[in-house]
Structure 1
């Protein structure tokens, strides 16, 4: 029997072995991506939720049920938590067929019902006609589907996925993304996915938490974390390369603008009240905030933030072009990525002097964390 639909709450702290401090929740029907570099504590966090590792302090709860509490000395085993767990390399039994692998996870239901349940789930993950095959005779994508069917056939309270797409090729990965997105619509359970792939998180997750060196740096909808990174560590981890120094030169309360002096340019950014005129700040802008396309049409008049640039280099990567450019009075370069057809239309090339506009609402002034 499936457990009652509920939210997962996690607040844990650990000093020994792998340091880890995190507090977050994942609602029923939500996919939470745990993102960060290797060795940052992502898989350890997942194993703690699964009941395979025990945190030093804190509490993990699912609805009203306490899975772990350091205060009450409570600790439920993985079986008692009744969750679905897909480890990084799928963890299939090599000597059992696809069907038998799924049946092996169904010891909580009567024996007579197990095979029918297993076959139903193999069908649901689009593994038609392969139930008798051993894992060695399945492709990476098919093994992934067996592992997913095995986890979901348990009708788990929570689904945990550890780097679920890292062992499959790109084409298979794209198909599995669609599969997981479709299944997520049907499952009213919290789904937690560990990944180091930002694109994966942006594509699949409703919410993400960013972890580095055991610390939770930021959490929220992926798009929000990308466009509003809290500090420089978050910005760098999100792959943002346009991080610059500037000075606050004016504060306009009425128009809600903080004016920055950047090299020889004045930049209008979103208003931050607590900044003093004269203060040195770090600021960031994501790629979508750097605009080339309106220049030839004369539609840049609405933007205060026009920059004169000279293109230093261009690297064609499939359908897009990575551009590195110099700006007057600034030692750091500007990075931009534009569609190939647009670069060709605007006759962009190394050595060309042109103009870009920076979208004010996407300029984010970063917090300075003294302990970061």
Structure 2
């Protein structure tokens, strides 16, 4: 189990609290410069926070507070971390086998034992036959596999991945996803992945933490995060397209620019007559070509085809609000839908998720006190 509670002011403010279980993959997502890599480097001992605690398998790697500084801080060499960098960081003058041997230098093993372990890891990565090749003789995906073998050669207690798939092509990335998924079963260690790709996080992660300006805004399973973001800033950062504003009062939600009023469960967390942001998932939308007593009229403004899936943008009549909807090509044909078509949208109030509407320029205001 990896437990992290960090607070620091330089080189950038960081305030984050998360846990990662053995065998679990935890993704850190957020905009560029939000502090994702700084968090990894702090865990690895390459930076020291002002206060907080880093604990791995019940061993304290760092503990300190603002008043007394660090009470305990293991060096990077003392922390058992496997770190996979975005740019691979292979030594160009060493072949693949020699690169993987590097972290085993001070292990107490003799040279032959180190080489045997390195060969085993290269074999697990599916590139055992490339052991004698130099980095410049390897493709980007092959270099990344060598770097991953090197990160795991000393059997670390945690694995830190800093955007490891961003510089490789899509087919190679898919292959590495599969390799990582297979490794997780055998490694049974916490894995932290920094990524800017939300699809990647959704595909690989058990838990996702959204970071903005160094602040952990929300930690949740992917499905929860995308359907029930904590606030409007989280919804914005995870790319939820159907986010709107309105007023919530005792279970009734109005929609800015629309006469429709929705009945939404009141969980007692929103004060009366509060301005809110709200989202609705695709499963909460249905489109019809005839009106009903609960439908909202709209006009198809844009359509684009993505294989067998059509992405459609509809604008509510008499409003600036637009709704994004995805449907199969067969459904589009059944509805006789085209640009300019009059349609009628029904929203399932049970699937509407309301959130506090808070300023987005100071993410520290999102922290629950």
TM-score with structure 2 setting the length: 0.90
Q: 1:264·1:328 contact (CA, 8 Å) conserved in 2? A: no
The runs of 5 or more residues in structure 1 that have no matched partner are 1-6, 252-257
Matches within 5 A, 1:185-204: 185-204=185-204
Give the match for residue 172 of structure 2: 172
Change (3 A) 1:233 1:124: same
Give the match for residue 158 of structure 2: 158
d(CA) in 2 for partners of 1:80, 1:189: 17
Matches within 5 A, 1:1-372: 7-71=1-65, 72-107=70-105, 108-111=107-110, 112-248=112-248, 251=250, 258-262=251-255, 263-275=258-270, 278-292=273-287, 295=288, 306-369=295-358, 371=365
d(CA) in 2 for partners of 1:218, 1:117: 40
The runs of 5 or more residues in structure 2 that have no matched partner are 360-364
Give the match for residue 4 of structure 1: none
Change (3 A) 1:351 1:159: same
Change (3 A) 1:275 1:86: closer
Q: In the TM superposition, what is the alpha-carbon distance from 1:346 to its structure 2 partner?
A: 2.7
Q: In the TM superposition, what is the alpha-carbon distance from 1:241 to its structure 2 partner?
A: 1.8
Write out per-residue CA displacement over residues 19-75 of structure 1, whole angstroms, 9 at most, x where no aligned residue. Answer: 111011111111000011110000000000011111121111112211111245211
Q: In the TM superposition, what is the alpha-carbon distance from 1:79 to its structure 2 partner?
A: 1.7
Write out per-residue CA displacement over residues 172-214 of structure 1, whole angstroms, 9 at most, x where no aligned residue. Answer: 1111111111111221100000001100110000001000111
Aligned-residue CA RMSD (Å) = 2.1
Deviates more, 1:319-328 or 1:95-104: 319-328
Q: 1:266·1:305 contact (CA, 8 Å) conserved in 2? A: no
d(CA) in 2 for partners of 1:59, 1:305: 52
Q: 1:11·1:60 contact (CA, 8 Å) conserved in 2? A: yes
Q: In the TM superposition, what is the alpha-carbon distance from 1:305 to its structure 2 partner?
A: 5.8
Q: 1:51·1:78 contact (CA, 8 Å) conserved in 2? A: yes
d(CA) in 2 for partners of 1:61, 1:44: 17
Q: How many residues matched?
A: 353
